[in-house]
Structure 1
């Protein structure tokens, strides 16, 4: 196995910084893609002939592919080489983004979004495993993971702001064309600074496991997305959730029997890995869904324009960047990454709690800005704790798998948070009205963060072995 190794000490060499720049640029761009089109959906639909009822598929087509295929591509990276898969995924991202920007009809646009999702599913775990194998466990890896987490979380917020700016000043098509420029730049530099990384012994691909887990994840994500759009009573919601759950149960059974499982049971049997990934899902789900809920509050209750609502999250973006920088320092101070994960989620819950009491006037904005800033800092501390927890204690040969699991947790969290909270708002809206329905969903968001913090503290921090 070949990979770069950071120089001794805590300082990064010039080559290390280039490696970080390439990998973090790619990760940030992919995070931006989750939200950059949200503000522009009505304009895009009008331009390409997509009816109002079909607008959600511009986001859903991307999210389904990104979440459903992540674990599979995490293992493929171990098979074909992480650098090779990273470069191939970036190339697909560039081509699909060009196609999306030039699309004049819904078929090409949606196909481009599917391809962008597949590129995300390939690049994100490959980039994360390249990062963890480029920096040994310890302060340098924690610093790199902190920057990675900060930029990925900030990317979701930045996407909302950038999408509004590009749509207002240029055209929604530039939300695609930006990716083309990034892909060209990364493909020009990455081959010069990234060394190939793969396990010494190439594992076999667990085809039955790959089919069942990919199908199961696709069905579950579709069901959750359908719940957000059409409610929990819709036949498509429960049909997809039941089918997805059945496939995931079958996947678990397959993994216990095959000689080269996609996810070795012994890895999920490690408390740190299992709880770390479960908490990672909730860390991403609670913060991204909070952005959605506050967007509803700003536009539907306070009457903000879409661009003004997007710009209101700039302080959240600053908080996430600060949290990414502070995350490794918190880990060093508390000595255990799971402890930083639990602490971050607990502080996030405390910061989110005041948002349940926002009023119906713009006098509430100082509270909103202060709370989202503090919550953003805390959320990124939790995410850095999750990334370190979920990828440490494993050999380099298992980093592709660990990165695939961590990335899958991230993608599922980003994907399921919004439809779940949307379904809660929709279910309570007739009885409570818009303002109170949003407050109720924020309360659920707060409770999830608090309960997850408590669960991690009890299951991992107090019993750190295994």
Structure 2
């Protein structure tokens, strides 16, 4: 039986808003925060994991990479499954898989088990993340409310990454690295218990076919692309492993495009990519995430290996990042309805670039308040502004029946950007460090020079990205325009309690 969400509330187009929408948002945000946290939570704990489980240096990188490859590879599939099978159902399945894999991570007794469990954890995240964001877009029918909800969602991006680094250092020093995974369990338990009671189900109505061939090609192609990119820091761009993976990704993604052009009910309608505003938001997402992922790793190397901070002190040093995140969110929320999305997004990318330039000049004997704190604040401010507006623009002009797809593409852009950032920035830093070592430079100074180069290049790329975004994004003022998710015929969306 098909019905609308019960009880009136702020809404548009003849639809009523769910009176429990803000409670549901809190639960969805808890899970999204945990998914983002797990992108960085292992960084500071890696040396302890290597010692306890006997990882090789090369194998240790896959504690991070296995999660990113699976997460990035399955996101488009996860978004479309949410639209087709039900957003609440897919979210709960993904959350349960994520929680079970987190438990397996914490109990792992050997490298193979930990890497495999991290991959399964990424798969759970790829199901839960786009389903959650599409639920937010569908639940909030009033433009002003949706702006606030998506702004909160965007603020979690930088907050989750920074919290992961802090939590990793504190738990590793005080208890054990295993607790960086065990803490996921109570957080995942909340939405698993309460979302079925509070949130209605929603899906595309009347869809009976599923584009299996499209799902296989895009998932395999995305996974191959992430795998190839993430192997470049260790093996180099010209290695057979990277070239084969990238070539396979090109062939598979080309096959996916051909398939989608001819399929009766495509997994991703190609017309989706002709929507200028969402696609510009996705480009900005790739650029921001490349800086975000690369920055957390490079700063961790700088703080621990150049400045010689302990794991706990390294984690706590990210306190400045939280200042910038809260400052950014607090200022973006009132500014976006007044001046629109474009100035805030462009300004955010510019601030991230300024933060990267700041760290490109960090000295070998740097002090926290003089050399770390200002850069943390400026960069986090930029991440908050960019994330706030990217999430708004990324689901604008999109039919509600494609909300899961739009969310999946936005999340896939985040993971792709992270893989590119890790590949390019870490490779630049490693190559420059190796060259300086070969010329006789002291190891500490050689590593610092590599970090400086990576931050300088990253900052320049973001400046170019800010200019392109300013030219392409168009004007969007959420408080004064129709809903960002276009509500089509009532029959187009099936909602069930």
Pairwise TM-score range, normalised by the shorter structure: over 0.9
Please state if 1:169 is matched with 2:174: yes
Q: Give the distance between the partners of 2:7 and 2:408, measured in 1 at CA.
A: 21
State the match for 2:447 in structure 1: 434
SS in 2 for 1:136: coil
C-alpha deviations, 1:134-170, integer Å up to 9, x for none?
A: 1025221111111111123211111111011111111
Name the SS for the 1:304 alignment partner. Answer: coil
In the alignment, which residue of structure 1 is the partner of 2:482? none
Q: Map residues 23-422 of structure 1 onto 2, 5 A cutoff.
A: 23-136=28-141, 138-202=143-207, 204-335=209-340, 337-363=341-367, 365-422=369-426
Contact 1:93/1:180 (8 A) holds in 2: no
- How far off its partner does 1:14 sit? 7.2
Distance across 1 between alignment mates of 2:172 and 2:450: 30
The change in CA–CA distance for 1:61 and 1:363 in structure 2 (over 3 A counts) is closer
Residues 205-255 of structure 1 deviation map (CA, whole Å, 9 limit, x = unaligned) = 222221111111111111111002222232211221121122112212222
User: Structure 2 vs 1, CA of residues 399 and 104 (structure 1 numbering), >3 Å: closer, same or farther?
Assistant: same
Q: Work out the number of aligned pairs and report it.
A: 462
Instruction: Give secondary structure in 2 for the equivalent of 1:359.
Output: coil
Alpha-carbon deviations, 1:193-215, whole Å to 9, x = none? 11111123326322222111111
Which sits farther off after the overlay, 179-188 or 43-52? 43-52
CA-based RMSD: 2.3
1:444 to 457, 462, 467: 457
Please state how far the C-alpha of 1:373 moved relative to its aligned partner.
0.6
After superposition, the C-alpha distances for 1:108-150 in whole angstroms (9 at most, x for unaligned) are 2222111111110000000000111010252211111111111
> Residue 429 of structure 2 contacts residue 453 of structure 2 at CA under 8 Å; is this kept in 1?
yes
Q: Secondary structure at the match of 2:207?
A: coil
Question: SS of the counterpart of 2:262?
Answer: coil
CA distance in 1, matches of 2:395, 2:7: 17
Q: CA deviation at 1:7?
A: 3.0
Q: Distance in 2 between matches of 1:377 and 1:70?
A: 27
User: Which whole-Å CA distance do the structure 2 matches of 1:329 and 1:284 have between them?
Assistant: 24
Runs of 4+ more than 6 Å apart: none
**Distance 1:134-1:463 versus aligned 2 partners, 3 A rule:** closer
1:426 CA drift (Å) = 1.2
Q: Distance in 2 between matches of 1:41 and 1:364?
A: 23
Give 1:356 deviation, angstroms. Answer: 2.0
Tell me, yes or no, if the aligned pair for 2:170 and 2:311 is still in contact at 8 Å: no
Partner of 2:481: none
Deviation at 1:391, TM superposition (A): 0.1
* C-alpha contact 1:143 1:325 (8 A) present in aligned 2: no
**1:9-20 correspondence to structure 2 within 5 Å:** 15-20=20-25
Partner of 2:9: 7
C-alpha distance after superposition, 1:342-376 (max 9, x if no partner)? 22212322343232222222247424311221221
Find the counterpart in structure 1 of residue 493 from structure 2.
none
Change (3 A) 1:271 1:258: same
Q: Are 1:64 and 1:221, in contact at CA under 8 Å, matched by a contact in 2?
A: yes
Structure 1 stretch 165-174 or stretch 288-297: which is displaced more?
288-297
**Separation in structure 1 between the aligned mates of residue 216 and residue 67 of structure 2, nearest angstrom:** 19
Matched-pair contact (CA < 8 Å) for 2:169–2:312: yes
Q: Quick one: distance in 1 between partners of 2:50 and 2:434?
A: 28
**CA shift in 2, pair 1:180/1:71, >3 Å:** same
In 1, Cα distance between the equivalents of 2:368 and 2:24?
A: 43
Higher Cα Rg, which structure: 2
TM-score scaled by length of structure 2: 0.88
Change (3 A) 1:346 1:191: same
Residues 209 and 255, structure 1, Cα contact 8 Å, conserved in 2: yes
Which sections of structure 2, spanning at least 5 residues, go unmatched?
12-16, 437-445, 478-497
Moved more, 64-73 or 188-197: 188-197
TM-score by length of 1: 0.93
- Shift in CA distance, 417/245, structure 1 to aligned 2, threshold 3 Å: same
How far apart are 1:73 and its partner, in Å?
0.8
Q: Mean alpha-carbon deviation: is it higher for 81-90 or for 12-21?
A: 12-21
Equivalent pair of 1:330/1:381 in contact (CA under 8 Å): no
